[in-house]
Structure 1
Amino acid sequence: MLKRILYLFFTFTLLSVNTHAQEVTEEDYTHQLDSIEQLFTYRHDTVELANGIGRIIVPDGFRYLDADQSEKVLVELWGNPWYEGMTLGMILPENQGVMSDSGYVFNIEYNEIGYVKDGDAGDIDYDDLLKDMQDETAAGNKQRTDAGYEPISIIGWAASPFYDKDRKILHWAKEVQFGDNPEHTLNYNVRVLGRKGVLVLNAVGSMSSYGQVEQDLAHVLNIVQFNDGYRYGDFNPSVDEVASWTIGGLVAGKVLAKAGFFAVILKFWKFIAIGVVALVRIFWSRIRGKKANDGGEGTAIPEQLT
């Protein structure tokens, strides 16, 4: 549905060039994005997660977008490839939409990897771990570019990893660059440890949203409730599977290896929007240049865009 809407929008834009020669401004584009935003349906209540693992309690000042709609956002609108079937939905501030070019969203996942032992939490050198992550990401860039996607660089920690042993919650933040884009991406990661796996909350936005995410984090950390039998303290060593990864592995992203390196770092939609707006501007500059060269009133489309 969303692909169809975007297709119709850009088709309409091209037809407008040929018939009315009306310049598509950034304000016009923003209006179209607002129209797309109206297609989404949000919830404000308690959300039961799949397979009975627990629930998400949507706090005041936030809203929830379900898994089906969130997948369309991640894959079709934001350009995160191969993300089908992974999201359980999104939590975002009430006054913000998924098509906003600022702010952030928390994407929700559940990784049923088993019981994660946390004995290494106090022994990890996170500077060394960061260097390993940077090297592994750089090595994976050839695979990304060969597949037609831009390379990724991990710039550094936006917030160093912190593990709350009492609450069994791990969180940290990375500053990321996609391609050569001067505006960097924020990935603020939260892992809530359970008996059979880890509930993942991954805030994605531009780096300018870091202060807002940090301010809202206390509210978000309280939204997860595992059901009886799925809590970390319910672990039974006689029957339960122990995860191959400990706290360090969660931070390094080893859990997501089965989904490919594409899933480790999420791209925020704003970078797509900037590119499209720039493309529209280039398109129009070419149209105006063509008209000037012809000395006429026509609006012929340049050959490379036909």
Structure 2
Amino acid sequence: MNKYLLTIFTLLLAVCVSAESPDSTEIAIKEIEQSLKYQTGTIKLKEGHGTLIVPKGFHFLDKEQSSYVLSDLWGNPEDNSIIGMLFPTNIGVLDDHSWGFTISYDPMGYVNDNDANTINYDDLLASNKKDILAENQERLGAGYGSIELVGWASTPYYDNNQKVLHWAKEIKFDGDSANTLNYNLRILGREGIYLINAVASMDELPEVNKNVDQLLASVKFDEGYRYEDYTDGDQIASWTVGGLVAGKILAKTGFFAAILKFWKVIAIGVVGGFSFLWKKISGRKEDVILENETEKLTDDNEEESTKL
């Protein structure tokens, strides 16, 4: 049974079990949250030779469960590059104001940052918009809605001391009333980069901003794999800092997988749909019982009339 069907089955079971509850949707969502296996403390990141010390106020989901949240609950295309996610401890993944950080690694090599101070971000924004329009045909063909890059939610900048690139995009998904925030962080290392993206609604931007520094302090390359550990002869990435922001590095995966949607209404809608279905089934069952009782009463009356 694939993950999506398993999710459907779990939701249906939860709704059926709690059908007589005044709020079966709320109970089903609670069941989903309790099924997640969060981790805290120090987590070794095999990809990239790094370490994550889960920051205060957050907990971590591994690769498999992160995929479940992103794809099955939030409605994104599957992205096997994501190795885990961080979520605030005080908000469930299906709560009204839920959000999280995805963590990935790309072994692209050592990224030269010589062009960091010469990037024209207005030109990059225009280029990104064109690329996203081109990707929409692929999205539509796969059954997903089109997207629009509204603009920078936070202007890109490069922290030369920490070797971290920051930028944030405001994305509008077709049919959504609220826009999605994709806040991007790229931590540069000797052999590649960690990609950390905040996936949230635009309303959560202040909360994301408040936690960025704490998050960056929690993800570190191990000694020997840090940016400053580079030595002559190491692999050099095909992309500079400007290329990372431009998104050309996404040629092998496409914006199709890289831009994540904050869309928890899938699960809520499914639960609500099953709740309606259960009511229909229950109502039909009651109708059948009433019908049988009526037929039995009629038969009894006819039998009594025959006797008379």
TM-score by length of 1: 0.83
1:57 alignment partner, one of 37, 53, 56: 53
Deviation at 1:69, TM superposition (A): 1.4
2:249 alignment partner, one of 255, 262, 265: 255
1:269 alignment partner, one of 251, 263, 285: 263
Q: Which has the higher helix share?
A: 2
Give the partner amino acid of 2:194: L
Contact preservation (8 Å) 2:7, 2:72: no
Matched, 1:34 2:30: yes
CA distance in 1, matches of 2:74, 2:88: 18
Q: How does 1:149-168 map to 2 (within 5 A)?
A: 149-168=144-163
Contact preservation (8 Å) 1:102, 1:270: no
CA distance in 1, matches of 2:35, 2:10: 15
* Residue segments in structure 1 that go unaligned for 5+ positions in a row: 299-306
2:235 alignment partner, one of 214, 231, 241: 241
What do the CA deviations read for 1:167-196 (whole angstroms, capped 9, x no partner)?
101111111111121111111111100011
Q: Secondary structure at the match of 2:152?
A: strand
CA distance in 2, matches of 1:253, 1:282: 43
- Give the structure 2 partner of residue 7 of structure 1: 9
Deviation at 1:236, TM superposition (A): 1.5
Q: How does 1:1-306 map to 2 (within 5 A)?
A: 3=4, 4-10=6-12, 27-51=23-47, 53-84=49-80, 86-237=81-232, 239-273=233-267, 275-276=269-270
CA distance in 2, matches of 1:12, 1:196: 46
Q: Secondary structure at the match of 1:69?
A: helix
Contact preservation (8 Å) 1:99, 1:269: no
Give the partner amino acid of 2:61: L
Contact preservation (8 Å) 1:59, 1:219: yes
Deviation at 1:142, TM superposition (A): 1.1
Q: Secondary structure at the match of 1:106?
A: strand
CA distance in 2, matches of 1:234, 1:175: 35
Would you say how many aligned residue pairs link Structure 1 and Structure 2?
285
CA distance in 2, matches of 1:29, 1:171: 38
CA distance in 2, matches of 1:52, 1:249: 20
How big is the alpha-carbon RMSD for the aligned residues of Structure 1 and Structure 2?
2.9
Deviation at 1:278, TM superposition (A): 7.3
Compared CA separation, residues 81 and 267, structure 1 to 2 (3 A) = same
CA distance in 2, matches of 1:12, 1:92: 24
Give the partner amino acid of 1:206: S
Alignment identity in percent?
A: 44
What do the CA deviations read for 1:227-260 (whole angstroms, capped 9, x no partner)?
12210011123x2111111112211222232123
- Give the structure 2 partner of residue 301 of structure 1: none
Deviation at 1:271, TM superposition (A): 4.1
Give the partner amino acid of 2:91: Q
TM-score by length of 2: 0.82
Compared CA separation, residues 192 and 12, structure 1 to 2 (3 A) = closer
Contact preservation (8 Å) 1:82, 1:262: no
Deviation at 1:10, TM superposition (A): 3.4
Compared CA separation, residues 283 and 219, structure 1 to 2 (3 A) = same
Compared CA separation, residues 280 and 43, structure 1 to 2 (3 A) = closer
CA distance in 2, matches of 1:263, 1:59: 27
